[in-house]
Amino acid sequence: MPKKVILDVDPGIDDAIVLCYALFDPEVEVVAVTSVGGNVAPQVASRNTQAIMEYLDPPRLPRLGVGSEPDDGLPLDGRYVHGIDGLGGTDLPVAVLRSLHPAEKVICDAVRAAPNEITIIALGPLTNIARAFQRDSEIPRLLRHLVITGGTLDSPGNITPAAEFNIYCDPLSAKQVFQASCIKTLIPLDVTNRVKLTLGDVDQLASDSTKVGHLLRCIIMPAFRAYRQRFGLEGIHVHDMVTYLAALHPQLFAMKSLSGNVETVGELTRGMTVFDRRRIPAWRENMNVAYNIKEEQVLTKIITGLNFSAQCVEE
């Protein structure tokens, strides 16, 4: 039976890749897609999500929910990598829906409708998840699983020396979610940085004559240029795609149970993920954290899954 999932996304190029994969993945039933501010403002994330849905036209349309900015506003965005529109300047046409429900309502409704069956895969800042938990205090207990892209274990951050982008964008929400009583798995930069998509990998994707192949090249190639110019890398990280596969194929990852928290006010450490790894920890373990990955197998799954989606769309 397919796993019921909610995708919480801030498209974002790597989020868009996940949507291309997940909407045709026979292993999942995407019951809802909620947009959150992060790589772009929440309104732009919502538009991008709707544009991708309209372009791909999946056989089953999930419910859509739109988020709003954190209470303190977004401190930055990811347009330096993802382009002015979040999709590398692709500018997909879309008939924007005007009556979308708030993301937290969509999350609560979906979880209430299928208690203990829903896995939320959170690929952006945790604003929507925290607000859903505030809206309905039973939601953490009714979730099957929460899988999060974010944080670091031993590696440096990617937005400050101490902090990873998603957690840095809304550390107060991240702290609330970390402390919530639900089954959680964190996929940090230590693991996601180990999977890099190269131009050779892109050549293995479905051809540009297919809808999925064309969209992927339109959004991925600007990311290659940004990574080369900004980071000096000949390839791109696909953090969110790695997290999606961790939710579906945990056997490809090594995990350990840890007690984690988030720094919310530090001048130099805002958004830092902190784990109690003392010999005798004082904090209670509250999540599994990935620390190793079978990167070649994950990369193979990314390519084969996207090519499967391309075949589904063309049919």
Among the listed residues 88, 312, 315, the one whose alpha carbon sits nearest the alpha carbon of residue 216: 88
The catalytically annotated residue of 10, 25, 170, 201 is 10
**10 annotated active-site:** yes
The string of DSSP codes covering 210-249 is SHHHHHHHHHHHHHHHHHHHHH--SSEE-HHHHHHHHHH-
Q: Is 214 a catalytic residue?
A: no
State which H helix or E strand residue 105 sits in: helix 103-113
* Burial state string for 142-162 with b = 16 or more CB within 10 A and e = fewer than 16: bbbbbbbbbbbbeeebbbbeb
Write down the catalytic residue from 82, 145, 237, 239: 239
Residue 280 burial (10 A CB sphere; 0-12, 13-18, 19+): exposed
Q: How many CB atoms lie within 10 A of CB 133?
A: 25
Q: Around 270, how many Cα atoms within 13 Å sit in the side-chain half-sphere? A: 13
- As a whole number of Å, the CA-based R_g of the chain is 18
> Catalytic residue positions?
10, 239
